[in-house]
Amino acid sequence: MKIFQLEVGMIGTNCYIVENEQTKHGVVIDPGDEGERIVSAIKKEGLTIDAIFITHGHSDHIMGLNEVRAATGAKVYISSADADCLGQAKANLSIYMMGKTAEFAPADVIYGDGDVVEAAGMKFKVLATPGHTKGGVCLQCDKVVFCGDTVFAESIGRTDLPGGSYDEIIQSIKSKILPLADDVQLLPGHGPATSVGWERRRNPFLQ
């Protein structure tokens, strides 16, 4: 597994391209903006994209979706609780976050807690982690977790937006992330990578 990280958009969202080096197939996680730049990175690496995973429906994680979807033909996955964010600008907060309305075609697949999605010859386990949004998920592949805006390096996702809950996000992290091994890498939706062990010891919200 090879991971490419692109920081995209005005809010600096981490978009991840995950490659199966044996097959040259891959997935895109959170095409947050600058869709053409994401597509260029995919073409540069000569990848075939089999799936587009959305960790949650906020606009800063989906603004590049149309371009990536059109260029790759890949199926789009999102949770049921955040599915309406694709079709409703009010739900994805695009006016609030981006200063413009943004709406997208529905997802192809709804995934939920505990599902194991096989894509590009890799297995991604869905961990439901509500708190930042009602339908937020993290995606675990081997010893890497793509954690959206659930947990950051020594911080957590904001909970003051519609659908957010401080109690829920803390419970999500403690029940789904902290039980994992210390050396599991956490790749968040914003900011630098971290690990389960580091957050267990250093994250002030989890003490």
Q: What is the pLDDT of residues 124-160, one digit of tens each?
A: 999 999 999 999 999 999 999 999 999 999 999 999 9
As for how many domains the chain has, the answer is 1
* Opening angle at CA 66, ends 126 and 71, nearest 5: 95
Cβ neighbours of 35 (radius 10 Å): 22
Specify the pLDDT at position 169. Answer: 98
Give the chain's mean pLDDT.
Answer: 97
Q: Domain range spanning residue 90?
A: 2-206
Provide the sign of the torsion angle of the four alpha carbons 21, 24, 28, 32, taken in this order: positive
Whether the per-residue pLDDT at 100 is higher than 90: the answer is no
Residue 176: give its domain's CATH number: 3.60.15.10
pLDDT 10s digits, 10-60: 999 999 999 999 999 999 999 999 999 999 999 999 999 999 999 999 999
- Where would I find the beta strands (DSSP E) of 64-143? 75-79, 109-111, 116-119, 122-128, 137-141
Q: Which one-letter DSSP state was computed for residue 110?
A: E
Whether the per-residue pLDDT at 99 is higher than 90: the answer is no
Q: At what angle do helices 65-72 and 35-45 cross, to 10 degrees?
A: 30
- Measured between its terminal Cα atoms, the distance across the chain in Å is 32
CA distance 181 to 174: 13
- pLDDT bracket for residue 67 (50, 70, 90): very high
Partners of 7 in beta bridges: 14
Q: Please state the pTM of the whole predicted model.
A: 0.97
Three-state DSSP at 78 gives: strand
Q: Which long-range contacts (CB under 8 A, 24 or more apart) does 72-75 make?
A: 72/28, 72/39, 72/42, 72/48, 74/27, 74/28, 74/49, 74/50, 75/50, 75/51, 75/108, 75/109
